[in-house]
Structure 1
Amino acid sequence: MPALEEAIISEGQLLLEQTAKINATLIELNESQVITMIEKLRQIEKKMSTAFTYFKASMYTNNYQDKEDTNRPVI
């Protein structure tokens, strides 16, 4: 029985060490890479909002011109 207990304890220690390594890696990723990813996503969001604004403006212009070019009533 003592050999089985020692094996269980050593496996538990190995699991604890691996969990600590994973935790350290996650902390490192959160401190460095997540911040840069958020900044990149913010830049993309700004570009998308600008493109959407231009799209809406062009759609408004097209719709406004269509209404003026025809003699049919606006529905």
Structure 2
Amino acid sequence: MRTLEDAILSETQILTENITKLLDLVTKTNRDDALQLIEKIRLVESKMALVSTFFQTSLYATNCIEEGVVDGQDEDTNRPAFS
């Protein structure tokens, strides 16, 4: 009977050590790697905003050409052209 109790205690001790190692790894990842990932994501976000702006500008210009807007004058309005 003593060997079963020793085996349970031994496995419990191994489990505790593994949980401690896992906690240390998670703590290190949160402290170091997460900050680097956040900085990389911020860089990608700023580039995506720039690409989005260029894309929207391109779509606006394309729509203006297709609708017949020339030099800022639309045929169905009475507003003056912007020069």
Q: Percent identity?
A: 34
Structure 1 residue 32: deviation in Å? 0.3
Q: Does 1:7 align with 2:7?
A: yes
RMSD (Å), alpha carbons: 1.7
- Output aligned runs, 1:43-54, within 5 Å: 43-54=43-54
**TM-score using structure 1 length:** 0.87
In structure 2, the residue matched to 1:61 is: 61
In structure 2, the residue matched to 1:40 is: 40
**Count of residues paired in the alignment:** 71
Which structure shows the higher helix fraction? 1
Partners of 1:36 and 1:63 in 2: how far apart? 41
In structure 1, the residue matched to 2:80 is: none
**Structure 1 residue runs of 4+, over 3 Å off?**
none
Structure 1 residue 13: deviation in Å? 0.4
In structure 2, list runs of 5 or more residues that go unmatched.
70-75, 77-83
In structure 1, list runs of 5 or more residues that go unmatched.
none
Larger radius of gyration: 2
